[in-house]
Amino acid sequence: MNESNRNQSVLVVDHHLSTRLKIEDVFRSNGFKTWGSSSGEDALKKALTLSPSTIVIELSLPDMGGLDLCREMRQIHNNWTPIIFISENKDEIDTVLGLELGADDHMTKPLRMKELVARVKSIHRRGFLCCNTPNSMEEKKDLLQIDTFITNGYLAIDPSQFMVYKSGEALEFTRKEFELIYYLLKNKGKAFSRHHLLCMLSTDNSQNDERIIDVFISRIRQKIEPYYRNPTYIKTIRNVGYMMNPISVVADNQPLRGGDDDRSLVKNYINIRE
């Protein structure tokens, strides 16, 4: 058994028995504990009682669709176990809907098993920082090059606990939302293209449309912006992408906007191409 994965587990939800067993076998061979489920109702019960580290869900389940299962977990049970969707359909609408509901990733069949395992491991590495094991925390921070508290206006991020605060109030973020706002906040004042941000988030962006970044930004803005239609924090830079606007706070506790001139902001444009 792979020692680094000995405490990790995966719930595989797929009504195709052969596919489910194949996925389970691959994860077990990589040191993961696995459970299987063929329906949404059964998967929901197991997700809530067994507490797997990650859930792999086929979108087209016979009783409850994968999107409905994700929606019920997130919105009704407030369960934020990482979810990776798998499906036959290559239509980007499935990916977008899944991400809007709080899924962490999406892959299309036929599955590349090594890549699926790699994606789950990547999710688990990020999730390690939520643990409070004193003997390993420094190693985790070194591994991911984690900073201390980062602030901007009334926003604050604690990377060691994957927490985002607005005026002292904790906000709920999916893992990819957190990665995106952390990256933008860590590099505030610099503009990034959608392509750059997609590459930063994904292990394989060939299956994803760059417009998915717009979905993430929209969801983040709904959580952090005082006025959603007139963003203060995350600025859209025309023909470029997005930038975290540097914000200062004055004595009367009113946030000051940073420079709003797009022409000056574009000077900080960073666009990494393959």
DSSP string, 33-58: EEEEESSHHHHHHHHHHH--SEEEEE
pLDDT of residue 202: 59
Print the domain residue range for 243: 147-268
Mean pLDDT of 58-86: 89
- Identify which has the larger pLDDT, 169 or 124: 169
Percentage of the chain beyond pLDDT 90 is 38
Mean pLDDT for 55-62 is 93
Most confident by average pLDDT, 70-84, 96-110, 234-248:
234-248
Number of domains forming the structure of the chain: 2
Residue 137 maps to a domain:
no
Using DSSP's 3-state secondary structure scheme, residue 93 falls into: helix
Contact 160, 146 (CB under 8 A): yes
Minimum mean pLDDT among 54-63, 134-143, 191-200: which range? Answer: 134-143
- pLDDT of 206 > 80? The answer is no
What share of residues in the chain are helix, strand, coil (percent, to 5)?
45, 20, 35
**pLDDT level of residue 139 (50, 70, 90 thresholds):** very low
User: Are residue 115 and residue 219 in the same domain, yes or no?
Assistant: no
211: Cβ–Cβ under 8 A, 6 or more apart, which residues?
92, 96, 194
164: β partners: 157, 171
User: How high is the pLDDT of residue 256?
Assistant: 40
With a cut of 80, say whether residue 121 has pLDDT above it. Answer: yes
For 112-134, what is the mean pLDDT? 70
Residues 184-202 have pLDDT tens digits of 998 999 999 998 898 887 5
| Cα 250 from Cα 150, distance rounded (Å) | 18
Residue 274 forms part of a structural domain: no
What's 246's domain CATH number? 1.10.10.10
136 within some domain: no
Q: Which of 131-145, 193-207, 238-252 has the highest mean pLDDT?
A: 238-252
What is the distance between the alpha carbons of residues 220 and 64, in angstroms, rounded to a whole number? 28
Task: Classify residue 268 by burial, with Cβ atoms within 10 Å: 0-12, 13-18, 19+.
Answer: middle
157, 177, 249, 256, 273 from 167: Cα distances, Å: 11, 19, 12, 15, 37
Element spanning 99, H or E = helix 92-100
Query: Which of 16-20, 124-128, 198-202 has the least mean pLDDT?
Result: 124-128
| CA–CA separation, 164 and 103 (whole Å) | 18
Same domain, 46 and 125: yes
Quick one: 119 and 231 in the same domain? no
Q: What is the pLDDT of residue 71?
A: 87
Q: Which residue has the higher pLDDT, 112 or 253?
A: 112
Domain end (from 129, 155, 183) = 129
Predicted TM-score (pTM) of the model is 0.57
pLDDT digits 0-9 by tens, 73-101: 987 888 889 999 999 876 777 777 787 77
Structure tokens at 81: 């176990």
